[in-house]
A and B are shown apart, each in its own frame.
Chain A
Amino acid sequence: MEFPNFISGPQFPEGNFVSFRFKDSEITLRLPIIPNNDDTRDNVCVERDFSDGNTSSWDDCLTNRIKELVLQSWNYMDDVTHDDVANCFMEVHVLEHRDIEDGDLRFLNGDSYIEYFLKLIKDDHEGAEPETRPGWPTVENDFLIRRVKKPDIDGFQVLLKRCYGPEMYPTPLAFFPLGKNLSLKITFEFCSLHYAGRKNPYSDEMLHKLKAELFDEFLSLVNIEYSQDILALIAARSEG
């Protein structure tokens, strides 16, 4: 992807291929190559094979279990001034939904998967202060949900408020099914950076447009391959 103006930073298509195996699927991500700086993070889970289905060591997160696969943080820089102009904080998790029973196949279809998740997200926002800013994600506009096409089962992305400071923009999150009861969750925090006494030459609007483009590009490079059993179930569901 071509960055606007003089912005430079890690390119996803030049990133490292990193794969993780699960009971029903295998994912391959293109993780950006992060420059070694004091304020960058580059933590990739060393365990790559979770195909035995044992999730007992994963963290509890309400009804789910969660495992961090990737935590990366890096900056985008202006090539002329060498100033860092934006910071990106990307997390990739896998969620095990313990409320999904063994015979429940709703994750194997894009529509039912999205319907299930959207209800969860709305429930999670019950009682929250209503958002009044135009163009911001709300329960009414389904958090600006967008379907993300994948060959076998579609995922989706939404915008959620994760950090509630007055200047903070909503964070894009994406979810993809990884089998009968597993989901891939990708979070993409992005904020503009300011040095004391210096003005960031790029507007917030422009940087948040860049954020959306970067996230789309990262998602387009996520590859999910399901096991033969799951593919057979998907085929049976679509025929039925």
Chain B
Amino acid sequence: MSVSMARTSKSDGFIFFSPQTLGHVGRTVKIHTNLFFDFLCSVNPHSAEGQMVIRDIESLRSLAENKATAAFDPIGGRNDSAEHIQRKHKIQETLKRMATIAHHKKLALENSLITKNVRVYYNIYIRETDICPTVYISEIQVINKGNKEAGGFYEATTGAFGGKLIKAAKCNLEGKTVFVSAATATAYDAMKDAQVVSKGINSVVFFNPPSVTEDLTFGKKNRLTETTQTLVKEFQATLRDNKDRTVNWVVAGEGAALLSHALDGSNENLEKHSFKFVNPKADLSDLLQKLSARKADMGNDFISIDKALKNSAFSSMMVIATQKDALMTRLTNLPLRKMPEMGLDVNPETFLRLDLLKKVSDVASLGALTSIARLPQALEGKSISFIEAVMRVRTR
């Protein structure tokens, strides 16, 4: 069987999943272009794990189950009369037709495939543009993994044999650098990220467990789960207790979104607190406004992308790209830090802020990133599969 990619690729936002799923062997597998952003951020096609996810989804060619059909397999006892069996077949035939109609109305039973950190939901049916039953992937859920450690503040202590990580009930943060982690699998992972970012040992780490990702994904305004609410409350309490102390915060990934939620419930003056963001994943314009209103110190270079934290750099760049205009406006309007007189006509902070603006603009304007927002629409009708587009955007 030969299927022309161009002929069938445009179908209500669905395109071929990969060059392996055109229908030459097994069922055709298509995916909705609106899932591009989620897939791009959660599956790295250049990693071993990402390749496994792609191969597993491709295996839907042969493994995809059509629950509606399976439910109506012939049934009959050995002693059933021919007439009885014929009647049963007739009933089944009617039910199958009803199910087929339901398929066409997209009401067929939904199936799902779970592989690694991804769950894909799919239906099997025939559309006008199809020549055979096709697997349509209509939703992707990202499932995070971790151990059972509680999130929150951990104190890293230096013993004779290296660091220890102890869950802190109450923290005095005077003069300390606190690392607020991105969502990581373990507290130990968070501590290692802290060391990578600060090139030294942070004394306090706020560990964000993987469960926060679902609540704190950029763009989603979900109600917070109880676990995340507890973390937000712990953060707020610590912020309140330390409002008059000098604290340096280094905030990574989803930690920025958690901070933003924590600031919602506090009006403390944060004059003595300085903030730096590494690979932030949050509504940054909104967050900067909140920090600015609380007089927090945001130095010259308070937003950076660190590729050493490889699990968060790419998705952070995507988040920055999608909010470029609002973020640039906010950065331009942020008050400059007062600098001591240096015999210059212009506050040197101006130059440093311009440098930051340029850096953020560069991140947001990377050729591939700016076109991502338009990609889902652009992909329709093109002779390129979903995975090929993902591979082009997500460079190594």
Contact = CB atoms under 8 A, between A and B. Distances in A.
A36 interface: yes
A231 B185 CA distance: 45
Q: Which of A121, A189, A193 has the most CB of B within 10 A?
A: A193
A18 interface: no
Nearest to A163: B165
A46 B334 CA distance: 42
B148 A167 contact: yes
Interface string B186-199: 11110010000000
Given A35-B49, A173-B161, A71 B149 contact: no
A193 B46 contact: no
A198 B145 CA distance: 9
A87 B147 contact: yes
Interface stretch (A24-32, A58-66, A133-141): A58-66
Contacts of A161: 164
B158 A61 contact: yes
Nearest to B44: A38
Contacts of B117: 195
20 contacts: A37-B50, A38-B44, A38-B310, A39-B49, A41-B192, A61-B162, A62-B160, A73-B189, A81-B114, A82-B52, A89-B192, A123-B160, A162-B162, A162-B188, A163-B186, A168-B149, A194-B147, A195-B143, A195-B144, A198-B114
A167 B311 CA distance: 25
Given A41-B192, A62-B158, A84 B149 contact: no
B177 to A, nearest CB: 16
A185 B143 contact: no
Interface of A: 35-39, 41, 61-64, 66, 71, 73, 81-84, 87, 89, 91, 93, 120-121, 123-124, 160-168, 173, 185, 187, 189, 191-198
A195 B163 CA distance: 28
Given A73-B189, A196-B145, 18 more contacts: A36-B47, A62-B159, A84-B116, A89-B186, A124-B161, A161-B164, A164-B164, A164-B165, A164-B166, A166-B150, A167-B148, A193-B185, A194-B145, A195-B117, A195-B143, A196-B144, A196-B211, A197-B143
B65 interface: no
Closest 10 CB pairs of A and B: A35-B48, A191-B147, A38-B311, A165-B149, A167-B148, A164-B166, A37-B49, A37-B47, A163-B165, A195-B145
Contacts of A185: 161-162
Interface in B110-129: 114-117
Contact of A193 (B52, B145, B163, B214): B145
Nearest to B149: A165
B265 interface: no
Interface residues of B, number: 41
A83 B160 contact: no
Contact of B159 (A41, A89, A124, A168): A124
B188 A193 contact: no
A165 B190 CA distance: 14
A198 B148 CA distance: 13
A interface, over-half SS = mixed
A190 B394 CA distance: 31
Contacts, number: 116
A162 B154 CA distance: 12
A173 to B, nearest CB: 7
A36 B49 CA distance: 8
Contacts of A120: 160-161
B295 interface: no
B160 A124 contact: yes
B175 interface: no
Contacts of A39: 49, 185, 189, 311
B290 interface: no
B167 interface: yes
B146 to A, nearest CB: 7
B234 interface: no
B56 interface: yes
Interface string B45-65: 011111010001000000000
B114 A89 contact: no
Contacts of B310: 38
A229 to B, nearest CB: 28
B148 A163 contact: no
B197 to A, nearest CB: 14
Contacts of B143: 195-198
A192 B49 contact: no
B150 A82 contact: no
B161 A191 contact: no
Contacts of B116: 82-84
A160 B163 CA distance: 11
A89 B189 contact: yes
A167 B149 contact: yes
A98 B128 CA distance: 78
A62 B188 CA distance: 21
A197 B167 CA distance: 25
Interface string B226-262: 0000000000000000000000000000000000000
Contacts of B158: 61-62
Contacts of A81: 114
